[in-house]
Amino acid sequence: MKKVNIMEHELVPEHYLLSEEEEKELLDKLQVTKDSLPKIKRSDPAIKVLEKIYGPIKPGRVIKIVRKSQTSGKFIAYRVVVEE
Amino acid sequence: MIGPEVQKRISSLRFALLSPDEVRKMSAVKVTTADTYDEDGFPLDRGLMDLHMGVIEPGLRCKTCNGKVDECPGHFGHIELAMPVIHVGFVKEIKDILEATCNSCGRIKLKDEELEIYRPVLEKSILNGEESLEALAMSKKIIDEAAQRSVCPHCGAEQYKITLDKPTTFRENGRKLSPKEIRERFERIPDKDLIFLGLNPNTARPEWMILTVLPVPPVNVRPTITLETGERSEDDLTHKLVDIIRINQRLRDSKDSGAPQLIIEDLWELLQYHITTYFDNQTSGLPPARHRSGRPLKTIVQRLKGKEGRFRSNLSGKRVNFSARTVISPEPFLSINEVGIPEEAARELTVPIPVTPFNIEKLREIVRRGPNPKGEKYLPGANYVIKQNEKGLKQRIMIMEKNAEDVANKLEVGWIVERQMMDGDVVLFNRQPSLHRMSMMAHRVRVMKNRTFRFNLAVCPPYNADFDGDEMNLHVLQSEEAKAEARILMAVQEHIRSPRFGGPIIGGVHDHITGLFLLTYKNPLFTKEQVLHILSYVNYDSLPKPVIVDGKEYYRGKDIFSLILPKDLNMEYKAKICDGTGCKECVFDKCPYDAYVMIKNGQLLTGTIDEKSIGAFKGVLLDRISRDYDSVTAAKFIDNFTRLSVGVISYMGFTTGIDDTDIPEETKIQVDEILNDAIESTKAYIDAYQKGILQSLPGKSPEETLEDNIMRVLSDAQKKAGEIASKHLGMENPSVIMARSGARASMLNLSQVAANIGQQAVRGRRINRGYIGRTLPHFKKGELGAYAHGYVRSSYKKGLTPLEYFFHAMGGREGLVDTAVRTSRSGYMQRRLINALEDLKVTENDGLVIDTTDNIIQFAYGEDIIDPTRSKQGKAVDYDAVFSKALGERFFLQIRGGK
């Protein structure tokens, strides 16, 4: 079977790996700790794709997700990577 | 009441099993007598109403704590069971443990090395009380795996299959396992193995799931009820306990006297039945225990479970004081912010007013009036005064006619007077089902004669209320904080716009729309006398400038309406009566149908005011005023137009009847011709289909194509017949006025009355059910014609044939069933949504949605941080309003030029 890059599918939102500085900036802006962010499993297919680019992504890294929104056009969410 | 000094915070909760020793330790008395009272009505010693278990009769004292009725909290007793009995609540756990453990050595049937890998996670979860789904899944896995082993890996004993005969009989290889045997097996399970079964050995031993001693709840839990006749009747739980003690006693006697095994086993099973039903009287596989009258007993589980159970009816929701409920009726002369309250209710409901140096004289006067002031005009009295002595102790004094004067004179600063309601008090008004926040709003009180709650008709839509017997609830706010909060956040005028769709939900209904239509359509002329009558209820500055016709002064309807518009309002839009048909091109303010509304500087220049302007849900004029001006202005506008419109419609008169739908004979013939043609056309399609020459539509079978064609032909005919009939129903016809202005009904309704009802459908297709191959025995099998599948050719006025009537009822019934199903389903959905969302909040600074533990649920509320209440139909910005404000006249000219 042909391998598909799921990121190219229109229903899969864009995922970006945040750098450590960007993480700090984000948490400062929101005034929260990492554990109150929504989570994403390390086994998530989207993380697997990111890992192909960046190598293994450790739990605790933050992913930025840009998706289409009915109300605001574009919407940015963040998720912290967790083990299982 | 417990004072504030003993507030405590719960840090953790632990669930555990009661051990027999604990049951005995907490027991105040061992109950042995299967009876309650002696002949004198005194509780029997060691009986079920033993005074050690608390008191429910005034005058007696508890033998355990020496407390009186309201002081003694009640104490448990216990019953020593002659033989162990299974607790129904644990049957599943008992089965799991039986299957997972060895029948001879009691170890879990897995090798130690298999087990130990799980220990760290389980210890963390079970011993340290850390919640973990992982641990739950783990012990389940262990039990499943251990149950598979047919030989014990520890002692090598052969293992047998355990089956459960519902509800409480366990069998091993078909042989019955008595509770005693099961208990013995459980005792053999070592503590170190328990953790793998999901039990904490410090709080639960498996053998405790099999009862050897039964706790007897305090009498406060199962009070005796004394009827007026002096007859006593016991609680269902007491009845059940009597049964248990009686059988227990017989079982013990038989056992002691060495009765045959068979008899003992029968009694044992009977005891098991009684104890099972004592816990849950709806156990599947057991006949419910019944009262002498045949009513099933309400035992422990029944008390807690379901909508009428303790949780949903006594803990999540409670009955409250300072509330009233009665039938509602309309009162157009009340403001939307008000609610009319019957005097009877106002006298009963009170507001606590602290006495201060500033109000003491006023309050004295109120107290002096007593609880039942005389006189034609309603004046608030007072029902109670709360006196505060030096020690801060509160004492309630009931005011009666006798002591009113006395209490009034003694009144001191610092006391509290419970004053009866008066005009202006703030109350919450509510109609169930409370589906959105507008179902409960704050109103200001107006005390009135007669015994219904009354409010302005414009407030019907948010409550979804009508006056066919609806009742509503009212709550009187007691504290200043509550009153302030309600006035600011919950007042009706703050809810003119709904967060559901970003438009007005409070607005004109029925007569309001008809009234303003009559006032503004084609700009009728009124004499000064008429105008003064109509405006007598309305707040306005001065009469508009009259126009002179034939030397007489007249006032134009649109000028009268303009009186209540804000002076700086500019708008243009198409009215509801503009149906867009019949005009080649819109001529805007020159509209011959008076359907183009143009408001300049608060003057209605052209157009008709109808549902599109002031209707709840749809009124764009109302929408603009509620958005651009403050809530007070908007509320005043609604008050004014409701009064104005009621003035107009009651002065001019308005009536409707069946003869509104009369059409001339020739038109009837025309309608008949159209319908005949349609029937012929369906016959042609059926013919073509039967000959096999019907051209199928793309993607459809010939059958589907035929159905589509028949449905289309008939609905086209209905439309055409309706149009022809409507031609003879002009804008002077009251039914048409209501339909076209959006007040009530539709042109389709009218054409169904006048011309043709049309095809009936069940599940969106022609009616196809009934007998084999046909809908009714009046037709041939396989007949395809219009009449055989629910076509109703008659009009409502002409009347339906019996067959038509039958099909019409089928279609009508589907509607009823749908609503019934929809309400129950959406109710459940709503309940679950509320439970999931109830404690989420939007942060003030950055619009994050967070839960109570500050977890982020959404990074921006609604992804755009827009309050839907202030949105324009869900859109963040109303561009038209912005442009029209910025460009003024030029904007409207541009729209007209552009299109």
Q: What is the largest CA-CA distance in chain B?
A: 121
Q: Quick one: B438 and B545 in the same domain?
A: no
Asked if residues A36 and A77 have their Cβ atoms less than 8 Å apart, the reply is no
The band of B312, judged by pLDDT with boundaries at 50, 70 and 90, is: confident
Closest CA–CA distance from residue A29 to any residue of chain B (Å): 10
Nearest to A71 among B854, B857, B862 (CB): B862
At a CB cut-off of 8 Å and minimum separation 6, what does B866 contact?
A71, B876
Structure confidence by residue, pLDDT tens digits, B786-805? 999 999 999 999 999 999 99
Among A32, A38, A75, whose Cβ lies nearest the Cβ of B863? A75
Annotate B62-109 with three-state secondary structure: CCCCCCCCCCCCCCCEEEEEEEEEECHHHHHHHHHHHHHECCCCCCEC
Residue with tokens 């879990």: B108
Say if CB B782 and CB B774 are below 8 A apart.
yes
Query: Of B850, B859, B866, which is closest to A71 when you measure between CB atoms?
Result: B866
Q: Are B268 and B83 in contact (CB under 8 A)?
A: yes
Confidence at residue B113, expressed as pLDDT on a 0 to 100 scale: 86
Q: What percent of chain B has pLDDT over 90?
A: 64
Q: Which residue of A has its CA nearest to B855?
A: A36
Residue B598 and residue B572 in contact, taking contact as beta carbons nearer than 8 Å: yes
* pLDDT grade for B899, boundaries at 50, 70 and 90: very low
Q: Of B188, B210, B232, which residue is a domain's last?
A: B210
> Searching chain B, which residue's CA lies closest to the CA of residue A78?
B859
Convert the pLDDT of each residue in B88-115 to its tens digit: 999 999 999 999 999 888 899 988 888 8
Please list every residue in chain A whose beta carbon sits closer than 8 Å to the beta carbon of residue B857: 38
Whether B426 maps to a domain, the answer reads: yes
Please indicate, yes or no, if residue B237 is contained in any of the structural domains: no
Residue type, A70: Q
Chain B residue closest in CA terms to A84: B134
Amino acid B41: pLDDT: 81
What's the one-letter identity of residue A45?
A: P
Interface test with B, best of A36, A37, A70, A71 (most B CBs within 10 A): A71
User: Are B863 and A37 inside 8 Å of each other by CB?
Assistant: no
Q: Contact A38/A44 with Cβ under 8 angstroms?
A: no
- Looking at the structure, do residues B726 and B789 belong to the same domain, yes or no? yes
Among the partner-chain residues B856, B857, B866, the one whose CB lies closest to the CB of A32 is B856
pLDDT tens profile B226-274: 888 878 888 999 999 999 999 999 999 999 998 899 999 999 999 999 9
CA distance B761 to B810: 8
Domain boundaries, chain A: 6-82
Tens digit of pLDDT for each residue in B189-199?
999 889 888 88
What pLDDT score was predicted for residue B898?
A: 58
Assess whether pLDDT exceeds 50 at residue B2: no
SS3 B445: strand
Minimum CA–CA partner of B867 in chain A: A71
> Which among B433, B385, B386, B379 is positioned nearest to B405, based on CA atoms?
B385
Q: What's the pLDDT tens digit per position in A26-55?
A: 999 988 888 899 999 999 999 999 998 888
* CB B443 within 8 Å of CB B493: no
Q: What CATH number is given to the structural domain containing B666? A: 1.10.132.30
Nearest to B864 among A32, A72, A77 (CB): A72
Evaluate whether B526 touches B557 at the Cβ level (below 8 Å). Answer: yes
Query: Which residues lie across from B457 on neighbouring strands?
Result: none
DSSP string across B36-65: -B-TTSPBPTTSTT-GGG---STT---TTT
Strand (E) or helix (H) holding B295: none
- Domain presence at residue B425: yes
d(CA B865, CA B849): 10
Determine phi and psi for B827, rounding to 5 degrees.
Answer: -60, -45
Within 8 A by CB and 6+ apart from B714, the residues are: B678, B682, B758, B759, B786, B791
Does residue B256 belong to any structural domain of this protein? Answer: no
Which residues have a Cβ under 8 Å from the Cβ of B176 and sit 6 or more positions away? B169, B170
B493 and B565 inside one domain: no
- Residues B411, B348: one domain? yes
Strand extents, DSSP E, B470-519: 471-476, 497-498, 503-504
d(CA B616, CA B401): 48
What the block records as the tokens of A24 is: 């700090």
Point out which residues pair with B255 in neighbouring strands.
Answer: none
Say which CATH number the domain at B533 has. 1.10.274.100
Minimal-distance CA residue of chain A relative to B857: A38
Cα B227 to Cα B217: distance, rounded to the nearest angstrom: 23
Chain B interface includes A30 (CB < 8 A): yes
Domain boundary among B742, B776, B809: B809
Taking one residue from A and the other from B, the number of pairs with CB-CB distance under 8 angstroms is: 33
- Which domain range does residue B728 map to? 658-809
CATH level 2 (architecture), domain A6-82: Alpha-Beta Complex (3.90)
Distance, in Å, from the CA atom of B268 to the CA atom of A39, rounded to the nearest integer, reads 55
Do B356 and B485 fall within a single domain? yes
- Is A38 close to B856, i.e. CB distance below 8 A? yes
Q: Identify all chain B residues contacting A36, using CB atoms and an 8 Å cutoff.
A: 850, 853-856
Q: State the Cα–Cα distance between residues B873 and B448, nearest whole angstrom.
A: 38
What is the rounded distance in angstroms from the CA atom of residue B212 to the CA atom of residue B186? 14
Q: Which run of H or E residues covers position B428?
A: strand B426-430
**Which residues of B fall within a CB distance of 8 Å from A70?**
863
B645 neighbors B508 (Cβ within 8 angstroms): yes
A19 CB within 8 Å of a chain B CB: no
B468 and B569 co-located in one domain: no
Q: Single out the residue of A32, A16, A36 nearest to residue A24, CA to CA.
A: A32
Residues of B with CB under 8 A from a CB of A: 846, 848, 850, 853-860, 862-864, 866, 874, 876
Final residue in a domain of this structure, among B451, B476, B503: B503
Distance from CA of B122 to the nearest CA of A (A): 18
CB of A79 within 8 Å of a chain B CB? The answer is: no
| pLDDT digit string, tens, across residues B314-329 | 888 889 999 999 999 9
Flag whether pLDDT at B412 surpasses 60: yes
Q: Which residues of A touch B860 (CB under 8 A)?
A: 72, 75
Work out how many domains chain B is built from and give that number.
4
The verdict on B369 and B458 lying in the same domain is yes
Q: Could you say which DSSP state residue B505 is in?
A: S
What does the pLDDT read at residue B60? 83
B281 lies in some domain: no
User: So what's the pLDDT on residue B135?
Assistant: 80
Q: What is the ipTM, given to two decimal places? A: 0.93
pLDDT at residue number B1 = 46
Neighbours of B762 (CB within 10 A): 15
Evaluate whether residue B81 is within a structural domain.
no
Alpha-helical segments (H) within B523-664: 528-534, 557-562, 611-614, 620-628, 631-652
Distance (Å, whole) CA A63 – CA B855: 16
A42 neighbors A84 (Cβ within 8 angstroms): yes
Beta bridge partners of B210: B86
Tokens of B238: 């007491």
Shared domain check, B542 and B471 = no
| pLDDT tens string B686-733 | 999 999 888 888 999 999 999 999 999 999 999 999 999 988 888 999
- CB of A36 within 8 Å of any CB in chain B? yes
Comparing alpha-carbon positions, the chain A residue that sits nearest to B848 is A30
Residues of chain A neighbouring B862 (CB-CB closer than 8 A):
71
Decide if B459 contacts B498 (C-beta within 8 A): no
Nearest beta carbon to residue A71 from set B848, B855, B864? B864
Cβ neighbours for B490, distance < 8 A, ≥ 6 positions apart: B428, B440, B441, B442
The reply to whether residue A36 touches residue B855, judged by beta carbons under 8 angstroms, is yes
Same domain, residue pair B198 and B91: yes
- CA distance, residue A51 to nearest chain B CA (Å): 25
Q: Do B679 and B664 share a structural domain?
A: yes
Are residues B859 and A78, on separate chains, in Cβ contact within 8 Å? yes
Calculate the alpha carbon distances from A54 to A50, A51, A60, B685 in Å.
6, 5, 15, 67
Tokens of B625: 């005023």
How far apart are the C-alpha atoms of A65 and A11, rounded to whole Å? Answer: 13
Query: How far is Cα B554 from Cα B529, in angstroms, rounded to an integer?
Result: 10
Asked, for residue B568, whether it belongs to a domain, the answer is yes
Domain check: are B715 and B802 in the same one? Answer: yes
B335 and B473 together in one domain: yes
**Sign of the dihedral defined by the CA atoms of residues B172, B176, B177, B179, in that order:** positive
**Partners of A84 in the β-ladder:** none
Pick from A36, A69, A72: CB nearest B856? A36
Per-position b or e across B851-874, b if 16+ CB within 10 A of its CB? eeeeebebbbbbbbbbebbebbee
Distance from C-alpha of B197 to C-alpha of B91, rounded to nearest angstrom: 15
